[in-house]
């Protein structure tokens, strides 16, 4: 039996003693190092904020095409903003492409909405009109800052647990480049997911430092069993008050591979009725914590000790983001946007 991802009580981050915080930090580091994942309860993102965000995004995806098309994401930009139509992003290219498939048509059975810091001048947010969806922007902004507070705390305890100054990671992340990603997975025939060239999300790592995922109750998020690479284990769903934390590619790069990114995918729910023809609709809220755009995402000197060699090249966070983005929108023009930044 593979070991299960630990569920940690994060209350001490808001009101715990130094001792409780230190105990939490050690367990958090252990979980991220062993699995690339950790789950938190009693965290500081209020449940009503999460519920309000879910309600608003469900209304967003129900908007007619005529409203959504006005804020369609431009895949040529270095950072996603607005609505990505179903199948536009092709995560198959991130980790599943071994180069042996001719004319690949693999796509994702999902549509998404992305937004970032409300004051981002370089990649401004794109909102539906207030008439079409009253209060949408306010809800997203609230969710953005509440998740940001939790993540800044998590980055501090992670740095401390690794024996470094607590602000080592958080000082490189003022959330200027952090993004919210909202996913909607329309109902789909089971057969399409089982036999087709479509997945809800193909196996991938997230690109940022860490991610928070608030899945709905439908199920389907799976993580790679590191003891059996290539095998995936359903992420258990224990309640609406839980959040999944995922180590992402930037923390792997900064720590020169000592905290590895957690490979994950979204597929049909493990708990699904085995006789059902249709895989039910699903939604998820994701918060990708990203390094500030001019920050180097090569290994930090603190993690290069003795004879150790840097495993990753030096790049700015924006260059890295645009490079990784370009892989799942196979569109060469992406780099132009970075050059212009
Ligand atoms: O929907 C989920 O549970 C996870 C989504 C995800 O992995 C992503 O958007 O990168
Ligand atoms: Fe992901």
Asked casually if ipTM beats, i.e. exceeds, 0.85, the reply is yes
- C-alpha–C-alpha distance, residues 177 and 288, integer Å: 9
- Give, as one character, the DSSP assignment of residue 170: G
Q: Is 28 domain-assigned?
A: yes
Per-residue model confidence (pLDDT) at position 104: 73
Q: Which helix H or strand E contains 176, and what residues bound it? A: none
Mean pLDDT across the chain: 92
Give the whole-number percent of the chain exceeding pLDDT 70: 96
Q: Which domain holds residue 115?
A: 7-339
| pLDDT tens, residue by residue, 178-236 | 999 999 999 999 988 887 788 899 999 999 999 999 999 999 999 999 999 999 999 99
- C-alpha–C-alpha distance, residues 171 and 175, integer Å: 10
Per-residue model confidence (pLDDT) at position 323: 86
Q: Is 2 domain-assigned?
A: no
Q: Is 309 domain-assigned?
A: yes
Q: Is 238 domain-assigned?
A: yes
Give the whole-number percent of the chain exceeding pLDDT 90: 76
Tell me the three state secondary structure of residue 8: strand
Q: What are the structure tokens assigned to 285, written together?
A: 């809220």
For the domain that residue 268 is a member of, what is the CATH number?
A: 2.60.120.330
Q: CA triplet 150, 154, 155: central angle to 5 degrees?
A: 120
91 Cα nearest atom in ligand 1: 10
> Which of 165 and 270 is assigned the larger pLDDT?
165
State how many domains the chain has: 1
Q: Is 1 domain-assigned?
A: no
| pLDDT tens, residue by residue, 119-147 | 999 999 999 999 999 999 999 999 999 99
Ligand 1 centroid, distance to 289 Cα (angstroms): 14
Give residues (CB < 6 A) around ligand 1.
Answer: 181, 183, 201, 206, 213, 215, 221, 264, 266, 284, 286
Say what the pTM is. Answer: 0.94
211 Cα nearest atom in ligand 1: 10
| pLDDT tens, residue by residue, 71-124 | 999 888 878 999 998 878 888 888 888 777 776 778 888 999 999 999 999 999
pLDDT higher than threshold 80 for residue 339? no
Q: Is 259 domain-assigned?
A: yes
- C-alpha–C-alpha distance, residues 263 and 230, integer Å: 9
Q: Is 241 domain-assigned?
A: yes
203 near 263, Cβ under 8 Å? yes
User: Binning pLDDT at 50, 70 and 90, where does residue 306 land?
Assistant: confident
Residue among 84, 179, 200, 201 whose CB has most ligand 1 atoms within 8 A, to mutate: 201
Q: Is 324 domain-assigned?
A: yes
């Amino acid at each position: 039996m593979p070991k299960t991802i630990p569920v940690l009580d994060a209350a001490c981050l808001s009101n715990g003693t130094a001792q409780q915080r230190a105990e939490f930090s050690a367990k958090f580091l252990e979980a991220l190092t062993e699995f690339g994942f950790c789950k938190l309860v009693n965290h500081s993102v209020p449940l009503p904020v999460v519920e309000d965000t879910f309600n608003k995004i469900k209304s967003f995806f129900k908007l007619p095409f005529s409203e959504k098309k006005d804020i369609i994401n431009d895949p040529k930009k270095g950072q996603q903003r607005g609505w990505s139509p179903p199948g536009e992003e092709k995560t198959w290219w991130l980790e599943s492409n071994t180069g042996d498939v001719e004319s690949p048509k693999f796509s994702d059975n999902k549509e998404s909405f992305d937004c970032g810091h409300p004051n981002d001048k370089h990649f401004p947010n794109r909102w539906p009109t207030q008439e079409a969806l009253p209060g949408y922007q306010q809800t997203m902004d609230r969710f953005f800052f509440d998740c940001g507070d939790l993540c800044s705390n998590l980055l501090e305890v992670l740095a401390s647990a690794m024996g470094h100054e607590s602000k080592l990671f958080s000082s490189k992340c003022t959330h200027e480049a952090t993004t919210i990603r909202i996913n909607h997975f329309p109902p789909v025939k089971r057969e399409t997911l089982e036999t087709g060239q479509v997945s809800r999300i193909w196996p991938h790592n997230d690109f940022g430092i860490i991610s928070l995922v608030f899945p709905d109750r439908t199920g389907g998020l799976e993580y790679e069993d590191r003891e059996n690479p290539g095998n995936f284990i359903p992420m258990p769903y224990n309640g609406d008050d839980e959040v999944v934390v995922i180590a992402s590619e930037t923390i792997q790069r900064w720590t020169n591979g000592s905290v590895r990114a957690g490979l994950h995918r979204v597929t049909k729910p493990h708990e699904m009725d085995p006789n059902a023809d249709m895989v039910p609709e699903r939604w998820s809220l994701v918060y990708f914590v990203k390094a500030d755009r001019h920050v180097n995402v090569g290994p930090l000197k603190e993690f290069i000790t003795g004879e150790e060699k840097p495993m990753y090249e030096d790049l700015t966070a924006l260059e890295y983001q645009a490079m990784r983005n370009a892989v799942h929108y196979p569109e060469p023009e992406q780099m132009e946007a970075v050059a212009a930044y």
